């Protein structure tokens, strides 16, 4: 065999191996997928920093940053004081100096001490400087219920920040989206609030390491149907898919859309679906009053009024503070409440 033939075969094997690695799909829990996405971002850009309470040696309360400090050092993955306003304020300063800080808010309800820094500084600095200053800051927010915790540990505060111009909000519902969306958020030059459905941290799913499923700020049809469109984000997507499966067994066809991005919202798939089904149910773990669910209901009514055969219906948590853990299953929407709304929509 000639040297050229050997070299040719060797190159072929190397190319096949590289292609196999590039197209590798792994089965990961959502939390581990986030860890892998953060690791990739740290590898790709030395300006990426991770900061937050107990994210270093401990790896965070939910172990999402586990092992990253040991791998990248305490100068790039570091613990902060228990002061959320200080965390975000420091991140703003780092961003002004060219870094890409990623802050972890330990629990959703702890974000409020940083509310002023986020809404009056982080959200406005780029506009205030007429676009001459970028704010590539990501704030990771474990949010939502279903973990049996107490007040300030299971809330859904998305609407407060979606109301604020200058902020981008996203929320993955699958491990694959978690892996890709965290990298895309970090590469954004705008501030991104990254809402992580903490009750899904341990749910496994395939992660395609070769390509993202969709752009960061896009919604996606995750189950096709013909009679009713249901829309949600984060952990609620799993509930909607459960409801659609139950409805299918009873002869009702439901189309499920995962919002993925909460600000901006990609309405094109939603409007197209409503034009097909004529009915829309919007579901969320957050209270319904002045909410993202309200915004979707109003916008779809404006843009697709003549396609609707029934009012847009909302299925949300109740407009009360989050209750004690033993009452969370009553407070949070489940498949039965979604199906009850579907039945009401079909009754018109």
The reported pLDDT for the residue numbered 146 is: 86
CA 75, 81, 82, 84 torsion: positive or negative? negative
Q: Is residue 18 part of a domain?
A: no
Same domain, 290 and 204: no
Distances (CA, A) of 30 to 60, 81, 188, 205, 211: 15, 27, 21, 7, 17
* Assigned domain for 297 exists: yes
Q: Which CATH number does the domain housing residue 76 bear?
A: 3.40.50.970
Reported pTM: 0.91
Between CA 168 and CA 212 the distance in angstroms is 19
Within a domain: 138: yes
pLDDT for the residue 61: 95
Whether 195 and 315 share a structural domain: no
pLDDT at residue number 56: 97
Active-site entry in 146, 153, 217, 233:
153
Q: Would you write out the chain's pLDDT as a tens digit for each of its 348 residues?
A: 444 443 443 333 334 333 434 458 999 999 999 999 999 999 999 999 999 999 999 999 999 999 999 999 999 999 999 999 999 999 999 999 999 999 999 999 999 999 999 999 999 999 999 999 999 999 999 999 988 887 888 899 999 999 999 999 999 999 999 999 999 999 999 999 999 999 999 999 999 998 887 899 999 999 999 999 999 999 999 999 999 999 999 999 999 999 999 999 999 999 999 999 999 999 999 999 999 999 999 999 999 999 999 999 999 999 999 999 899 999 999 999 999 999 999 999
Query: In the listed set 208, 234, 258, which residue is the last one of a domain according to the structure?
Result: 208
Domain end among 180, 208, 236: 208
How many structural domains is the chain composed of?
2
- Domain span including residue 66: 23-208
Residue 292 CB partners (closer than 8 Å, separation 6+): 158, 159, 162, 233, 262, 265, 284, 286
| 15 falls within a domain | no
Same domain, yes or no: 98 and 198: yes
For the chain, where are the alpha helices, taking DSSP H only? 3-22, 30-44, 68-72, 84-96, 115-116, 125-128, 158-162, 175-187, 236-249, 268-277, 292-303, 328-331, 335-347
What's the confidence (pLDDT) of residue 50?
Answer: 98
Report pLDDT for 212. 81
Q: Any catalytic annotation for residue 153?
A: yes
Residue 53 and residue 100 in one domain: yes
Q: What pLDDT is attached to residue 148?
A: 86
One domain for residues 242 and 190: no
Question: Does a structural domain hold residue 171?
Answer: yes
Both 52 and 181 in one domain: the answer is yes
Give the CATH number, domain containing residue 271: 3.40.50.920
**Is 200 in the same domain as 232?**
no
Distant-in-sequence, close-in-space partners of 176: CB < 8 Å, separation ≥ 6: 33, 205, 206, 207, 208, 213
Tell me, yes or no, whether 182 and 233 share the same domain.
no
Give the residue from 208, 230, 258 where a domain finishes: 208
191 and 121 in one domain?
A: yes
């Amino acid at each position: 065999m000639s040297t050229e033939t050997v070299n040719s075969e060797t190159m072929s094997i190397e190319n096949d191996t590289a292609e196999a690695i590039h197209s590798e799909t792994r089965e990961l829990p959502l939390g581990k997928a986030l860890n892998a996405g953060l690791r990739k971002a740290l590898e790709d850009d030395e300006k990426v920093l991770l900061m937050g309470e107990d994210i270093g040696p401990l790896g965070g309360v939910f172990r999402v940053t586990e092992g990253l400090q040991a791998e990248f050092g305490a100068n790039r993955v570091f613990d902060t004081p228990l002061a959320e306003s200080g965390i975000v304020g420091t991140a703003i300063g780092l961003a002004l100096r060219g870094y890409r800080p990623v802050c972890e808010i330990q629990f959703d309800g702890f974000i409020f001490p940083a509310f002023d820094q986020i809404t009056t500084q982080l959200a406005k600095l780029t506009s205030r400087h007429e676009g001459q200053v970028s704010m590539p800051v990501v704030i990771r927010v474990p949010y939502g219920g279903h973990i049996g915790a107490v007040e300030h540990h299971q809330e859904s505060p998305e609407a407060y920040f979606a109301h604020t111009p200058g902020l981008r909000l996203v929320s993955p519902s699958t491990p694959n989206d978690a892996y890709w969306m965290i990298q895309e958020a970090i590469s954004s030059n705008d501030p991104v609030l990254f809402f992580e459905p903490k009750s899904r941290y341990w749910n496994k799913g395939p992660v395609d390491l070769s390509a993202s499923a969709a752009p960061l700020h896009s919604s996606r049809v995750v189950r096709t149907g013909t009679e009713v469109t249901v829309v949600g984000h984060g952990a609620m997507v799993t509930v909607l898919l459960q409801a659609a499966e139950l409805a299918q067994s009873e002869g009702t066809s439901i189309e499920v859309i995962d919002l993925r991005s909460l600000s901006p919202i990609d309405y094109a798939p939603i409007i197209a679906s409503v034009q097909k089904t004529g009915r829309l149910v919007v579901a969320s773990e957050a209270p319904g009053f002045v909410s993202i669910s309200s915004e979707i209901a109003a916008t779809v009514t404006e843009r697709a009024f003549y396609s609707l055969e029934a009012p847009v219906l909302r299925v949300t948590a109740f407009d009360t503070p989050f209750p004690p853990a033993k009452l969370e299953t009553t407070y949070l929407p489940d498949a039965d409440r979604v199906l009850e709304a579907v039945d009401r929509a079909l009754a018109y």
